[in-house]
């Protein structure tokens, strides 16, 4: 878990990755944990960039 500068809580969990703003949760990725989709960590940079790790490496999240 990590909290962004805007107060949004970000979660990386077995089979998914998403955020919670205090009233609503938003999944960004959801998959089948049995298929190897594991999100191991999430962190937020001071500028608000969301970084997360999965079996393929470390990535940043682009939100349209």
pLDDT at 22: 93
pLDDT of residue 25: 92
**Strands 50-54 vs 41-44: parallel, antiparallel or unpaired:** antiparallel
Please give the average per-residue pLDDT across 10-39, as a whole number: 79
Non-local CB neighbours of 43 within 8 Å, separated by 6+ positions: 2, 50, 51, 52
**Average model confidence (pLDDT) for the chain?**
83
**Domain boundaries along the sequence of the chain:** 2-60
pLDDT, position 2:
92
What is the C-alpha radius of gyration for the chain, rounded to an integer number of angstroms?
11
């Amino acid at each position: 878990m990590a909290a962004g500068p805007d107060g949004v809580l970000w979660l990386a969990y077995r089979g998914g990755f998403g955020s919670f703003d205090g009233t609503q949760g938003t999944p960004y990725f959801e998959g089948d944990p049995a298929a190897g989709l594991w999100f191991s960590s999430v962190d937020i940079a001071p500028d608000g960039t969301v970084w997360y790790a999965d079996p393929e490496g470390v990535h940043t999240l682009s939100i349209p």
